[in-house]
Structure 1
Amino acid sequence: MSVLSTGTGALIAFQRALSTVSHNVANVNTEGYSRQRAEFATRSPTDYGYGYVGNGVKITDIQRIADQLATSRLLDSGGELARLQQLSGLSNRVDALFSDTATNVSGLWSSFFDSVSALSSNAAGTAERQDMLAQAGALATRFRQLDGQLQALDGEVNSGLVAGAQEINRLAAEIARINGTIGGNLAGASPDLLDRRDQLVSELVGYTGGTAVTQDGGMLNVFTAGGQPLVVGNQPSTLTTTADPYRPQRLQLALSSQGTTVPLDQRSLGGRMGGLAEFRATMLDPAMAELGRVAVTMADTFNASHRAGMDLYGDMGVDFFTLPAPRVNAHAGNASGASLQASVADAGAITGQDLVLRFDGTGWTATRADTGVAVPLSGTGTAADPLVAGGIALVTSTAPPPVAGDRFLLQPTAAAAAGIAVAISDPSRIAAASPVSGSADLDNTGSGVLGAIKVVDAADAALLDDAVIEFLDAGQFTIDGAGPFAFAPGQTISANGWSVTLDGAPAAGDQFRIVRTGPRSGNNGNAALLANLDDARVLNGGTISLNGALGGLTTMVGSAARQAQYSADAQQVIHDDAQAARDSISGVNLDEEAANMLKLQQAYQAAAQIISTADTMFQSILNAVR
């Protein structure tokens, strides 16, 4: 009977071990599966007086082969990879918008300034004027289209946050349920259940980043990259989305617990959610702001020069482009209903960076929204003395007035590209001519030569008044009888909002007349200036041209997208290495399993032979006493 019992026990043990090997082979492609191993041990021997006789073998445990360190490393690398892949994927889409010739601004930008150049060659031409308006409209449309695509991406981020919060809550609830099932008996937990929990934790960390910590008893606590608890024991947290306090149309993640909702620090998130937040902060917002800055400075510079010209009706030029005012949003928690009215004070000083304005009850301060660094702020906020920060003037409301603690978000250029449009529709309203022109009297005897006239102050009330420059001798002149003024060849003479360079050696009695340009003039003075505005250095204190700013925008977006791609590629290598390290311990090796199966099969057959031998022995005894 002891031989039969030993053989039967061995047969059952080897059968269960073979089942474990089969289970490993069947799950060779199951993601997150950890191979299992049957642990053998001898049965308790029997004392027959002369000594102990063994009773065979038994299965003591089905062990899950896993290494916590390798699993933690894989979790960390997986969360970071999810963040970088999310960031890279969205950044590449923005890069495609700015680099593709079918969607970028550069082509239509060049076409517009080419049309202005063509107009300068035929300032009175109807076809040239109509083409310039058409090209301007196409350029403004492209600005709006690009901004609309960026706004659509912002909407996708909102949708991603909502969907992500729902998936995070589902995963956290499932992990908490498994924790409850395991309770305080980790040793008694099914290996497959532990694999399932690890896989869920991996998916959860892929959304939020963070870590998983095992507590006493085997429960697993999961925390976000910022340290916020997602699962503690068998209690899951709930993530939701709330409106940004400055921009209600923009969502952000928040943690809901015990009836309170606490917004999470979006900068500390990891995983896919962190990638969405980082994309919005480091790629989308800067791209929208810089696109708006290019639109603002181009339109403002072009408008200023266009107002200094004269149209075919003989009237001074008006704004060629229209732009929306800079956007100022009050914080949702402001105690007052005060508002700020913003306008562009100096387009060349605009940086495009969002600013937070705070009122302490007596004065205002300004800081950058992204870094918190203080920004110079002047003025008191009245209409006569507006607040000025970063080239933007702000006037505070008086009914109601701001109170201590009020905060406002200033976005100088974020909405500019969305609202740019062509202000005129009549081709004859294009101010291609200089408003004044100069000529030398035919009776002049000297060699004085009048250069091109420039308008330096289009708002001067006397700009269009006729003026006479008369020389008393080679070194003195008067303007409409005022003077005399000293003269040297090559000198710039200014009056009534215009300036002109006079060279040569005028003689006594020589006169030069400055007169208003008449209607339907073919004068191209202002068109020639407009055609070269794309090279005007008007940004960053006169150090960057409009063309340079447009090229810089494309380069900035492309560089950020490439950097995100490089980081994602590098992290993929790190993650693959972590995955290989985990698989080397926990993964199923078919060659190893095949060898184990062959060994166990032979052992099973040997155990069966033991049972057969025991049966023969038993039959021999029966035959002896029958």
Structure 2
Amino acid sequence: MANVLSTGAGALIAFQRALATVSHNVANVATEGYSRQRVDLATRNPTDMGYGYVGNGVQVADVRRVADQLATSRLLDTGGELSRLQQLSALASRVDSLMSDSATGLSGVWSNFFDATTGLSSNASSSAAREEVLSDANALANRFKQLSGQLDSLDNEVNSGLRSAAEEVNRLGAEIARLNGEISSNPNHVSNDLLDQRDRLVSELVGFTGGTAVAQGDGSLNVFTAGGQAMVVGNTSAKLTTVTDPYRPERLQLALDANGQQIQLNQTSLGGKIGGLMDFRSDVLDPAQAELGRIAVGLAETFNQQHRAGMDLNGQMGTDFFSLPAPKVNGHSGNTGTGTLTASVGDLSKLDGQNVLLKFDGTAWSATRADTGASIPLTGTGTAADPLVVNGVALVVGGAPASGDRFLLQPTAAAAGGIGVAIDDPSRIAAATPVKAQADLDNVGTGKVSGIKVTDAANADLLTPADIEFIDATQYTVNGSGPFTYTPGQPINANGWSLTLDGVPAAGDHFAVGRTGAGSSDNGNALKLSNLDDAKALNNGTVSLNNALGGLTTKVGSAARQADYAAEAQQILHDQAQSARDAISGVNIDEEAANMIRFQQAYQAAAQVISTADSMFQSLISAVSR
């Protein structure tokens, strides 16, 4: 009878624990990261009665957490990569919106400016047309500055994102290390909910850094970043800190403090949201800013060069139309010498906007790409007479650089934010060709001036009057110098100008070349200015400014779309990994309901056993008491 009572009581307790576990599962059906639990029942040790063994009922052997390490690891892998791609896609899409939207992009104001120069070429003496050119030029320069400012703001957002992410990573890492200590101190008696809590924290940490977790024999989890850096080892966590870029103090980078050492991390060391921020900065933001600056440099250099070859309404040679900052060169914070580098654009056609690292070994300079480390051809010695030349940029060395000193050249990164209009007086727009030519009225040949253009605006004799006299149909002199051979159809060149004739000049014919003068309505230079957007000034003379502008918009849009497509594909992989994990560890309400009914019935049956035992005991008491 006592055996029956003990068996019933044990069963009652066991099924009560089973019902409690089912209730716990149902209560956490919507809890993120929860792994369902299952009660494992086992028979008690039987009693040897001499004639055989008599069973003693049931007991709870274990309350087990249903989880699969492979499914969890796959979920971590896909989750970290998804966080990286979503972060990259979100930020790249913002740059795409800036560049492609008509309200914020360059295309509209760019077209307006060149339309205005075309209007000026139709009426070069018009004050209204000149005012419009200046107004649209200022609007274009301001748009460059606005876009550059927006990109700088995104760079600051990356800094803020890295700073806040580092704080969150450190908090999560410390908490995981603490839980590792609790779990490893008694690995055989660990709360299942504590394991779920740790898995959730690991998932959040990997969402910031990428990577995975590796289980240890004592039950602890070691967490590594996507690049293999250890973030948590046992009950010790590394500390992620922000440090200033040694070349660009306005920009933050990440470093890992571990075992008293600081390890600077590059973009390959981290995945997750932090990796997305770093990838965006290096793969989208920096190239966009560099190309935007290259277009600004291309516009300013080509327009200024042509503008200097014209004459304004005051009868003066044109000056720079746009102002532009020099390429940026920053020394490494660890440099020990006093050397400086002063940069200027030397060859626009070779300017590619790539950041370049320059290093001095004590005797010579070398150049490598900042992003890949690939070697770049470098010529010159660094003097003013023989500057260093790399990718179309000329650099003059000042001071005394020490061996090992390094410098970062950013050829175009600051150009868009610094471009401006250098003139504010409409009359100073050099719309006219500075020299004009005409045939003498007494000429007897059929030669007529078909065109004159400036070939060297810096020539000191450009505006000096010149008289071209033909000795015969194939020879001529210029101000008495010569004779020079004349080939029909070929230009006559002198003093920085080039003259073309139609017809056939005769002996004694004269052609006069002289200064255009103030107040001219000549539109020769305005015509050239209006067509500069189609001038193939970039990429060794193969790409026009218009093509470069379109290429920038296309490149940014393509990067944004690729990041978006990759994020969508990774979302599918992550959803599949989540489904695989949920199929193993997730709570199934139907299954739990069936278990609840089954355990409830078993509980009631156990209660009936106890009731039967009680009736037997009461019957025995009654029989004895008679």
Q: Distance in 2 between matches of 1:371 and 1:238?
A: 28
| 1:356–1:366 CA contact under 8 A, matched in 2 | yes
Compare 476-485 and 231-240 and name the one that shifted more: 476-485
Q: Distance in 2 between matches of 1:267 and 1:117?
A: 50
| 1:618 maps to 2:617 | yes
**Equivalences for residues 411-490 of structure 1 within 5 A:** 411-490=410-489
| 1:5–1:55 CA contact under 8 A, matched in 2 | yes
Letter in 2 for 1:410: L
Q: Distance in 2 between matches of 1:61 and 1:491?
A: 101
| 2:489–2:502 CA contact under 8 A, matched in 1 | yes
Post-superposition Cα deviations, 1:29-59, rounded to whole Å, max 9, x if no partner, equal 1110000000000011111111110010011
Aligned to 1:340: 341
| 2:162–2:242 CA contact under 8 A, matched in 1 | yes
1:258 Cα offset (Å)? 4.4
| 1:226–1:265 CA contact under 8 A, matched in 2 | no
Q: Distance in 2 between matches of 1:220 and 1:463?
A: 80
1:442 Cα offset (Å)? 1.5
Q: How many pairs are equivalent?
A: 624
| 2:358–2:408 CA contact under 8 A, matched in 1 | yes
Aligned to 1:221: 222
The SS at the match of 1:568 is helix
Q: Distance in 2 between matches of 1:108 and 1:129?
A: 16
| 2:229–2:269 CA contact under 8 A, matched in 1 | no
| 1:491–1:503 CA contact under 8 A, matched in 2 | no
User: TM-score when scaled to structure 2?
Assistant: 0.99
Letter in 2 for 1:269: L
| 1:308–1:457 CA contact under 8 A, matched in 2 | yes
Aligned to 1:520: 519
| 1:226–1:268 CA contact under 8 A, matched in 2 | yes
1:488 Cα offset (Å)? 2.6
Aligned to 1:321: 322
**Equivalences for residues 341-380 of structure 1 within 5 A:** 341-380=342-381
The SS at the match of 2:103 is coil
Q: Distance in 1 between matches of 2:572 and 2:444?
A: 84
The SS at the match of 1:109 is helix
Q: Distance in 2 between matches of 1:337 and 1:187?
A: 64
Aligned to 1:508: 507
**Equivalences for residues 275-294 of structure 1 within 5 A:** 275-294=276-295
1:485 Cα offset (Å)? 2.1
1:598 Cα offset (Å)? 1.1
| 1:168–1:204 CA contact under 8 A, matched in 2 | yes
Aligned to 1:588: 587
Letter in 2 for 1:387: L
The SS at the match of 1:39 is strand
Aligned to 1:36: 37
The SS at the match of 1:267 is coil
**Equivalences for residues 191-202 of structure 1 within 5 A:** 191-202=192-203
User: TM-score when scaled to structure 1?
Assistant: 0.99
Q: Distance in 2 between matches of 1:257 and 1:18?
A: 47
Post-superposition Cα deviations, 1:516-547, rounded to whole Å, max 9, x if no partner, equal 10101101110010000000000000000000
Compare 420-429 and 616-625 and name the one that shifted more: 616-625
| 1:242 maps to 2:231 | no
Aligned to 2:409: 410
Aligned to 1:189: 190
Identity fraction in percent: 67
Q: Distance in 2 between matches of 1:66 and 1:331?
A: 51
Q: Distance in 2 between matches of 1:610 and 1:269?
A: 62
Aligned to 2:554: 555
Q: Distance in 2 between matches of 1:620 and 1:345?
A: 114
Q: Distance in 2 between matches of 1:243 and 1:545?
A: 38
The SS at the match of 1:183 is helix
The SS at the match of 2:395 is strand
Post-superposition Cα deviations, 1:184-223, rounded to whole Å, max 9, x if no partner, equal 4333111100000001000000100112111121111111
| 1:94 maps to 2:98 | no
| 2:338–2:402 CA contact under 8 A, matched in 1 | no
Q: Distance in 1 between matches of 2:19 and 2:311?
A: 95
Q: Distance in 1 between matches of 2:90 and 2:428?
A: 46
Aligned to 1:58: 59
Q: Distance in 2 between matches of 1:583 and 1:183?
A: 26
Q: Distance in 2 between matches of 1:227 and 1:500?
A: 70
| 2:328–2:414 CA contact under 8 A, matched in 1 | yes
The SS at the match of 2:579 is helix
1:467 Cα offset (Å)? 1.1
Q: Distance in 2 between matches of 1:50 and 1:545?
A: 104
Q: Distance in 2 between matches of 1:465 and 1:584?
A: 90
Aligned to 1:171: 172
Aligned to 1:15: 16
Aligned to 2:398: 397
Letter in 2 for 1:96: S
Letter in 1 for 2:377: P
| 1:117–1:528 CA contact under 8 A, matched in 2 | yes
The SS at the match of 2:491 is strand
| 1:274 maps to 2:275 | yes
Q: Distance in 1 between matches of 2:248 and 2:254?
A: 14
The SS at the match of 1:483 is strand
| 1:206 maps to 2:211 | no
Q: Distance in 2 between matches of 1:57 and 1:484?
A: 124
| 1:306–1:530 CA contact under 8 A, matched in 2 | yes
1:259 Cα offset (Å)? 4.1
| Runs of 4+ deviating beyond 4 Å | none
1:260 Cα offset (Å)? 3.6
Letter in 2 for 1:604: Y
| 1:147–1:288 CA contact under 8 A, matched in 2 | yes
Aligned to 1:496: 495
Compare 124-133 and 257-266 and name the one that shifted more: 257-266
| 1:540 maps to 2:528 | no
Letter in 2 for 1:142: R
Q: Distance in 1 between matches of 2:230 and 2:524?
A: 69
Q: Distance in 1 between matches of 2:48 and 2:268?
A: 70
1:489 Cα offset (Å)? 2.0
The SS at the match of 1:438 is strand
Aligned to 2:141: 140
| 1:568 maps to 2:567 | yes
Q: Distance in 2 between matches of 1:580 and 1:102?
A: 43
Compare 339-348 and 352-361 and name the one that shifted more: 339-348
Post-superposition Cα deviations, 1:150-193, rounded to whole Å, max 9, x if no partner, equal 00000000000110000000000000000111124333111100
Q: Distance in 2 between matches of 1:491 and 1:395?
A: 41
Aligned alpha-carbon RMSD (Å): 0.9
The SS at the match of 1:484 is strand
Compare 274-283 and 331-340 and name the one that shifted more: 331-340
| 1:253–1:266 CA contact under 8 A, matched in 2 | no
Q: Distance in 2 between matches of 1:579 and 1:588?
A: 13
Aligned to 2:28: 27
| 1:478–1:485 CA contact under 8 A, matched in 2 | yes
Q: Distance in 2 between matches of 1:589 and 1:394?
A: 70
Q: Distance in 2 between matches of 1:337 and 1:249?
A: 22
Aligned to 1:303: 304
Letter in 1 for 2:396: V
Letter in 2 for 1:101: S
The SS at the match of 1:356 is strand
| 1:184–1:219 CA contact under 8 A, matched in 2 | no
Gaps of 5+ in 2: none
| 1:182–1:219 CA contact under 8 A, matched in 2 | yes
Letter in 2 for 1:551: G
The SS at the match of 1:311 is coil
